[in-house]
Amino acid sequence: MPPLTDDAPALPLDAQGILELAARSMFYLFSSVSQGMFLVDLSGRIVWVNEGYQRFLPDLGFSSLDQFLGRMVEEVIPNTGMRRVLETGNPVLIDLLTNKAGTFVVSRIPLRDDGGSVIGAIGIVLFDHPETTLQPLISKFALLQRDLDDARRELASQRRRSLVAAAAGDGERRSKYTFASFIGSSPAAAEVKRQARRAAQSTSPVLLLGETGTGKELLAHAIHAASSRAGGPFVSVNIAAVPDTLLEAEFFGVAPGAYTGASAKGRDGKFKLADGGTLFLDEIGDMPQSLQAKLLRALQEGEIEPLGSNKLVPFNVRILAATSRDLAAQVREGRFREDLFYRLHVLPVRVPPLRARRSDIPALVESLGDDLALRNGTPPPEVLSDAMALLAGQPWRGNIRELRNVIEQAVMRSEGQSIDAAQLERILREAGVEPAAPVQDTSAVVVAEAEDESRYLRPLAEQVAELERRAIAAAMKAHGGNKLATARQLGISRATLYGRLENPE
Ligand SMILES: Nc1ncnc2c1ncn2[C@@H]1O[C@H](COP(=O)(O)OP(=O)(O)OP(=O)(O)O)[C@@H](O)[C@H]1O
């Protein structure tokens, strides 16, 4: 340590002086390391902006500092929390702020006079682009936000359902979607709805196959609602969400006093709760092997054995199952029982990914926007044509759930009602996705959809029947419903055409 000399700079000796020095040093430190700072007075008016902050002004919609200074903070910085700091005098040391200029990590600190009264506040942008500087934290935040949104939606729809059920004097286990809720008129969407409608008429098990977020659960509800069991309960179990050790009790129930700690009254399992209705087994590919054997036995015998009882109880339940895994591959790898697979695979319904039905994107976007508007009590967003083209071009790995998330974020960030492509590109990049090229004309995409090869991975007879149906429908349309002309064009007899029209299978 260098020796102190008389002319070495000295600390002030009084407490006030030290405090002032510390405050000044902190201020200069923040001013130089942060991305930007500004001050508001007690009324919330912007009174000072440092040089760093000025580069955010164009993204906030200002071309000069003069336009920004003197305005109320919430008028010029959407979603700011400065007002609350002024009102409560409590600092916010770290927060995430999202608005049209992007997402930022910010601090808000009240300024007090000598008597301790709040006289203004200082806003500090600690980091911009936190998605790169704070990547792990932001990913976790995005995940939590998604879960929270899902939970909120679920809660809201549960509330709606119980209100409807209460009004009808009914139980709560009802389906919440019908086929009308499944938005889409692309060939792939029409085909999956046709298959699902047909499944609703049958009593056999249905296996819904498709990537995550494609609408398998929605279709399970719709199948139940259109089936002869619609008056009965619709009960679902998400197998991936229940710990393996609890699944058996969840499925089959627990007999009264079955084990120490078990309730004296016992507990009904989902099979019992679904009696007379439909049991939806979501994420069936995640079922542990030991339970696969028990489920198979129950399905074969039509009876279940509640935990801790040695009595078999008959059940009357229709099974729908879904998975986003490749169940056939799991069978080949010995991870899923082949006999259970065939028992469930009676009526497979393949739910197409969104990228195989891009022409449905405009309708989906409109419906998701209406949904949001209803929830937030705002007018529906207007998705500009460049934004729609960008949405139509994305591969949507998370399918409709991911699409909804992007729309929600765009709505949250935009000040007006419209959503443009630049905004969406920013949101996609922040989520770690490099935006794919836009697709201007979604009607051209219908042709590309037909080329999606996964469509061909199903029984040939089914595909031939589908092609026949489409050819007949197109020719009938072209000839204004004239059957003779249709039959001629297709090179079939009129009797054959009548036969096909009456019995399209
Ligand atoms: N065709 C559609 N029209 C409107 N909304 C849809 C459509 N398909 C799915 N959704 C919505 O997208 C979300 C995801 O759908 P759902 O939960 O049914 O998918 P999933 O295939 O069961 O997903 P996971 O495999 O992850 O459980 C839901 O909020 C659902 O309402």
Q: What is the average per-residue pLDDT within 68-78?
A: 94
User: 399 CA distance to ligand 1 centroid (A)?
Assistant: 8
CATH of domain 460-502: 1.10.10
Kindly report which listed range (162-171, 404-413, 467-476) carries the lowest average pLDDT score: 162-171
Kindly report which listed range (284-288, 293-297, 493-497) carries the lowest average pLDDT score: 493-497
Quickly name the fold that domain 355-444 has. Answer: Helicase, Ruva Protein; domain 3 (1.10.8)
CATH of domain 20-128: 3.30.450.20
User: 358 CA distance to ligand 1 centroid (A)?
Assistant: 15
User: 365 CA distance to ligand 1 centroid (A)?
Assistant: 14
Ligand 1 atom with the smallest distance to the CA of 177 is 31
ipTM over 0.90: yes
Task: At 412, list the tokens.
Answer: 């949250």
pLDDT of residue 444: 53
**Dist. CA 261–CA 62, nearest whole Å:** 66
Q: pLDDT exceeding 90 applies to what percent of the chain? A: 50
Q: What is the average per-residue pLDDT within 209-232?
A: 94
Sign of CA dihedral 430, 432, 438, 444: negative
pLDDT of residue 308: 86
- The CATH number of domain 173-258+266-351, selected from 2.40.30.170, 2.70.98.10, 1.20.1270.30, 3.40.50.300: 3.40.50.300
Check: CB of residue 399 under 8 Å from CB of residue 354.
Answer: yes
Query: CA separation (Å) from 27 to 21, 36, 50, 229?
Result: 10, 12, 11, 69
Q: Which of 375, 400, 404 to mutate to test the pocket of ligand 1 (most atoms within 8 A of CB)?
A: 400
pLDDT of residue 260: 59
The model's pLDDT over 84-114, given as tens digits with 9 standing for 90+, comes to 999 999 999 988 888 878 888 899 999 999 8
Q: Which of 185, 218, 365 to mutate to test the pocket of ligand 1 (most atoms within 8 A of CB)?
A: 218
- Ordered by start, the domain boundaries in the chain are 20-128, 173-258+266-351, 355-444, 460-502
Q: Which residue has a Cα nearest atom 29 of ligand 1? A: 401
Task: At 344, list the tokens.
Answer: 């469930």
With a Cβ cut-off of 6 Å, ligand 1 is lined by 182-184, 210, 212-218, 282, 322, 324, 364, 367, 400-401
User: Dihedrals φ, ψ of 117, to 5°?
Assistant: -80, 145
Please name the amino acid found at residue 464.
V
User: 400 CA distance to ligand 1 centroid (A)?
Assistant: 6
User: 373 CA distance to ligand 1 centroid (A)?
Assistant: 19
Q: Which residue has a Cα nearest atom 13 of ligand 1? A: 401
Query: CA separation (Å) from 244 to 51, 144, 240, 289, 333?
Result: 57, 24, 9, 10, 20
Q: What is the average per-residue pLDDT within 473-494?
A: 87
The model's pLDDT over 122-142, given as tens digits with 9 standing for 90+, comes to 999 988 877 666 766 766 676
pLDDT band at 169; cut points 50, 70, 90: very low
**Dist. CA 43–CA 346, nearest whole Å:** 69
The partner residues of 281 in beta bridges, in order of sequence, read: 237, 321
Q: What is the average per-residue pLDDT within 389-413?
A: 91
State the DSSP string of 429-492.
HHTT-PPPPP-S-HHHHHHHHHT-GGGGSS-HHHHHHHHHHHHHHHHHHHTTT-HHHHHHHHT-
Enclosing H/E stretch for 85:
helix 82-88
User: 398 CA distance to ligand 1 centroid (A)?
Assistant: 10
Q: Which of 321, 345, 325 is nearest to 335 (CA)?
A: 325
pLDDT of residue 477: 81
The model's pLDDT over 456-478, given as tens digits with 9 standing for 90+, comes to 667 777 778 878 888 888 888 88
**Dist. CA 129–CA 106, nearest whole Å:** 12
Give pTM, 2 decimals: 0.62
Question: pLDDT: is 245 or 258 the higher one?
Answer: 245
Q: Which of 127, 72, 133, 52 is nearest to 96 (CA)?
A: 127
